[in-house]
Amino acid sequence: MKKKLDSPIVDDTQPHQINAPSFKGTGIKPQAPFVNDYGVVIGDSKYSSENSPLENWSEDTDPEIMAGDEWIHPTNDIGWNSTENRELLESKKAPQPPFMHPDKDVSTDAD
């Protein structure tokens, strides 16, 4: 069972990898970090947790222990930096109208 943690999500963004795409305007809401069944914090952008098998690795550690969805954060994961996932986010954003100066009539005396 995942335990939710407080998260500093502001305006549909959250601290994550540098140059990571923004979810703003995509309809996808950033989710808070959570603690998985192994007591490891997932999605806090710190990538280090005292209970993580990575922090306690030995010859006896089975790498399969870190397989599965409970090790992946749905909105704060390095996978969002891939070209395919960036394109997915961009395709969900509403098109932006062209920039205009509504108080300036640039067509005056043009005809």
71 DSSP assignment: G
Give the global pTM: 0.64
Burial class of residue 71 (count of CB atoms within 10 Å of its CB; 0-12, 13-18, 19+)? middle
Residue 95 exposure: Cα atoms within 13 Å on the Cβ side? 2
Compute the chain's Rg from CA coordinates: 21
Domain boundaries, the chain: 1-92
Render pLDDT for 20-77 as a digit per residue (tens, 0 to 9). Answer: 778 888 888 888 889 999 889 898 877 788 888 889 999 999 999 889 999 998 888 8
Q: Quick one: average pLDDT of 6-29?
A: 69
Query: Residue 100 and residue 111: Cα distance in Å, rounded?
Result: 20
